[in-house]
Amino acid sequence: MAGISLHNVGKSYGSVEVIPDLSMEIISGEFLVFLGPSGCGKSTLLRMIAGLEELSNGEILIDGTRVDALPPGQRGVAMVFQHYALYPHMTVRDNMAFGLRNIGMSAGEIDRKIADAARILEMDHLLARKPSQLSGGQRQRVAIGRAIVKEPKAFLFDEPLSNLDAALRSRTRIELARLHQQVKATMIFVTHDQVEAMTMASRIAIMNQGRIEQVGTPLEVYRRPRTRFVAGFIGTPAMNILTVRLLGEDKGGAVVALPGGQRVETRVPISGLASSATLELGVRAEHVTTGGGIDGRAEVVERLGDRTFVYARLPDGALVVYEDAGDSTVSVGDPVALGFNPAQVHLFDSAGIGHHAA
Amino acid sequence: MSAPSQARPVRVARRDADAVGRRTAWNALFIAPYMLAFLVLLVVPLGLGMWLSFQDYDMLAGYGGPVGWENYERLLGDRIFLGSVRNTIWFVIISVPAFVGLGLFLALLLNDDSRKSSFFRSIFFGSSVLSVTIVTLVWRLVYMPDRGLLQNIAGMFGLTAPNFMTTEALALPGIAIVTVWWIIGLPMMLFLAALQQIPKEVYEAAALDNASRWRVLVSITLPAIRRTIVLVAVIEVILQFQLFGQANLITNGGPNNASRPIVMFIYEAGFRDWMLGYAAAASQILFVLMLGAAMLQMWIGRQKDGG
C-alpha cells in the first residue's frame, strides 16, 4: 500500500503532445479512477506509472521513491490489462506463479500465495486449466489473481471490464470494489465508462486532452462539476446546457434569461460572472421541475420503468431533458411547462469554469 | 391475381436457399481446373513412377517387362546409391537445424518497425530470388582454392582457408553454407510472421512480472511460435532432401562421391544412363525417406503440444 505522486509528468510522441504537464497525488489505499473519453491520455498515464511508456518530462514517485527510471518489474506495481494478457500456453497456476518464480520465491511460498488468491477470487477449480479453456469472465479473474499474488504496492487496471458483457461487467464491478476493501491496496483504474467510475471510485480524476479537469469524490464531480466538460461528461442523460444572458441579482443569486427571454433565478453568487463574455446554464434532468414558466413541447419520451425522461423542445430551439415519474402520462407532442430548481442550477463562464450555488 | 403474386417470391426464395446448400454435379465444375492439373501433373506421374520402379525400363535397351523388386534389390547393393542416401541424410541433419536456428535468430533480431530492420529483412530475403546458377557461381568464387574470397581473407591473417570444394569431409558442409545463405529468407519470414502474431500485451505483462530476456524467450516466445518451428522444420526437411542444383554445380557430387545426393543419383541413373526403372525405384526410396522424416517432425511437434 503506497501513495503515488506525479510531478509535472509529460508525454509526447514526436511532435504530438499527449500529456502536456500533469501533477497529482494519489493517496495511499484509495481507489482512484482516471475517467475520460478515448484519446484523453488516461491509458498513457497509467502505462507511464507501470513503466511501459517512458516519460518525456517530470517524475513519478511510489511510496516516496522515484521510480520513473526503473524497469516495470521493479516498481512494485501489478497491472490488469484490457485483453487480460494471460500467458496462453501456461496453466492458470503457472500464470500466477510466473512473476513470483522470476523473483526467486520458494515453491512453498508461491503455492501458499496462489491458494490465498484463488480463495479470495473463488477460482480454485480453475488452477489446472489453460486460458483457452476459460470464459472471458474467468480470464479476467485470473488476470486479477495474477496481480494479487504479487502483493503489489499498487494495482493498475487498464479498462479491464470493457471486454465483458453487461451482466458480468456489473458483477465484476462489485467484486472489484469488495476486493479493494479486502486488500486495502492503492488501486488505479482507467475507464471511459462513467458508471464504472461512479460506482467504484474513492476519487475520480476526469481527464480531457491530456489534462485533469477535476479530481474529486463521485458526488463532488457530479454535484459541483469544476468545468463545463465535466458537467457534460458525468451523468446520464447529460446535463442540459443552455446559453443564457445575465440579467442581475436577486436574493444573493444571479438571475439570467434564456434566449427566448424567460427569466431563470439561481443561487449562484454573481461575483465573477459579470466579466464573462458568454454564460451557459447547466441543469440536470432531475432538477428540472414541471409547472414552471418555461414552455416547451415533448419531442421524445424515454420510459425506463422507475422514471421517465422527456426531451422537450423550447420555442428558441433548445432541447431540454427532464425527469418525470415512472407513470408519467406525457406523450410526444404534448405541451409542457418547465422550471429549474434554483439551488441546483450551475453557470459556466466563457472559460468553461463552473459556478455553483453557495 | 394477388394470391399467386404473393406466393411466388416465397417459393423462389426457398428454392434459392435450397440450391446454396445442395450438392449438385455442377459444383464439380468449380474445382475442375485444379482437379485436372492435380490429376495430370501429380497423381498420374506419382502412380507412373511407382509402376516404373517395378519395371525393367531402359531407354537404350528398351522395355524388358516387369521385374518385381529387382530394381530395389539392386539399389540396396549399389555403393554409390547407399552413399548418396547417407550424404542426403547428413545434409538434412546439418542444414535443417541451421535453417530453424538461424532463421529464428534473424527473425528475433529483425522483429521491429525500425527502418534498419526492414532494410536487413529485404537483404536476407533478397538472396532467395536468385537462381541456383548465380548463387553457386558466386560461391565458387568464394570457395576457389587459391584465389577465392575465402582464401584472400584468410591470407590477410596469414592463414590457409579450408578447402570446401576438394575436401571430402567439407564438401557437404560447404554446400549447406551456400544453401542456408541462399534461402534463409523464407524461414526468417515465416518466423517473423509468427512473432508478429504474439500480442504485445503479453510481453508487457512479462515485463511487469520481472521476466529476464532469456525467460521471455523460453517461456513466452518459443511456446507461442512452436507450430511455426515445426512447420519450418518440415518444409526444410522436404526441401533439403531434394538437394541437387548446388551439389551438381559446386562439386558435381565429388570429391569421391562425398557430396552426391539422392536426386543427383536419380538424375544420373535416369537421364545419363537412361535406366528409368532403376531411377524410379530410387525416387520411391527418397519419397519414403521424406515422408518418414516429415511425419517424425510432426509427431515430435504434437508430443510437445500435449506436454
Quick one: pLDDT band at residue B10, thresholds 50, 70, 90? very low
For B62-83, write each residue's pLDDT tens digit: 888 888 898 999 999 999 999 9
* Statement to judge: residues A155 and A178 lie in one domain: yes
pLDDT in tens, B231-249: 999 999 999 999 999 998 9
Residue B1's pLDDT is 39
Is the model's pLDDT at B9 over the cut of 80?
no
Q: Which residues on chain B are in Cβ contact (under 8 Å) with A70?
A: none
B241 vs B286: CA distance, rounded Å: 8
Contacts of B2 (CB under 8 A, 6+ apart): none
In this structure, what C-alpha cell is assigned to residue B217?
524467450
Alpha-carbon distance of B140 to B34, in angstroms, equals 41
Chain B residues with CB-CB distance to A49 below 8 A: none
Are A251 and A173 members of one domain? Answer: no
Q: Where are the beta strands (DSSP E) in chain B?
A: 55-58, 62-66
- Going by pLDDT thresholds of 50, 70 and 90, the confidence category of residue A272 is confident
Number of inter-chain CB pairs under 8 A, A vs B: 64
Q: What is the pLDDT of residues B123-177, one digit of tens each?
A: 999 888 999 999 999 999 999 888 889 888 988 898 888 888 888 889 999 999 9
Q: Check pLDDT > 50 for residue B3.
A: no
**pLDDT > 80? residue B306:** no
Half-sphere exposure (CA, 13 Å, Cβ side) for B189? 11
Q: Is residue A232, in this structure, part of any structural domain at all? A: no
Q: Please name which of A251, A256, A283 lies closest in space to residue A267, comparing C-alpha atoms.
A: A251
Give the residue from A168, A202, A225 where a domain finishes.
A225
Mean pLDDT, range A249-262, rounded to an integer: 89
Are residue A207 and residue A63 in the same domain, yes or no? yes
pLDDT tens figures, A53-94: 999 999 999 998 999 999 999 999 999 999 999 999 999 999
Q: Residue B297, by phi and psi: left (phi above 0), alpha (psi -120 to 50) or beta? A: alpha
Q: Do A171 and A38 share a domain, yes or no?
A: yes
Tell me the C-alpha to C-alpha distance, in Å, between residue B121 and each of B104, B115, B116: 13, 10, 9
Write out the E strands in chain A: 4-13, 16-26, 31-35, 57-62, 65-66, 77-80, 154-158, 186-191, 203-208, 211-216, 240-250, 253-257, 263-265, 279-283, 288-303, 307-313, 319-325, 335-340, 346-348, 354-355
Q: Are residues A221 and A241 in the same domain?
A: no
One domain for residues A217 and A248 = no
CATH of the domain at A170: 3.40.50.300
Flag if A83 and B201 touch (Cβ within 8 Å). yes
Rounded Cα distance between B194 and B192, Å, is 5
Sequence-separated contacts (24+) of B33-37 with Cβ below 8 Å: none
CATH classification at residue A278: 2.40.50.140
Do A48 and A23 lie in a common domain? yes
Rounded percentage of chain B residues whose pLDDT exceeds 70: 92
Distance, in Å, from the CA atom of A80 to the CA atom of A95, rounded to the nearest integer, reads: 13
**Full residue range of the structural domain in which residue A20 is found:** 4-225
Task: Assess if residue A231 is contained within a domain.
Answer: no
Residue A100 near residue B236, CB atoms below 8 Å:
no
Domain count for chain A, please give it: 2
CA closest to A81 among chain B residues: B201
Query: A111 and A185 share a domain?
Result: yes
Inspect the interface and report whether the beta carbons of A85 and B205 lie closer than 8 Å.
yes
C-alpha cell at A304: 425506463
Smallest Cα distance from A358 to chain B, Å: 47
The pTM is what?
0.80
What's the ipTM?
0.85
- Model pLDDT, residue B62: 83
Together in a domain, A261 and A345: yes
Considering only CA atoms, which of B182, B135, B172, B136 is closest in space to residue B254? Answer: B172
Among A71, A74, A85, whose Cβ lies nearest the Cβ of B201? Answer: A85
CATH of domain B70-304: 1.10.3720.10
Residue A81 and residue B223: Cβ atoms within 8 Å? no
Between residues 160 and 219 of chain B, which touch chain A (CB distance below 8 Å)?
199, 201-202, 204-212, 215, 219
In this model, does residue B297 exceed pLDDT 90? no
Whether residue A92 is found in the same domain as residue A187: yes
Counting Cα atoms < 13 Å in the Cβ hemisphere of A325 gives 4
A104 and A131 in a single domain? The answer is: yes
Q: What is the mean pLDDT of residues A334-350?
A: 94
The three grid cell numbers given for residue B117, joined into one nine-digit string: 530492420
Of A85, A89, A146, the CB nearest to B204: A85
Give the per-residue SS3 of B174-197.
HHHHHHHHHHCHHHHHHHHHHHHH
In a domain, A139, yes or no: yes
Per-residue pLDDT at B278 exceeds 50: yes
Indicate if A104 and A161 belong to the same structural domain: yes
Tell me whether residue A10 is in a domain. yes
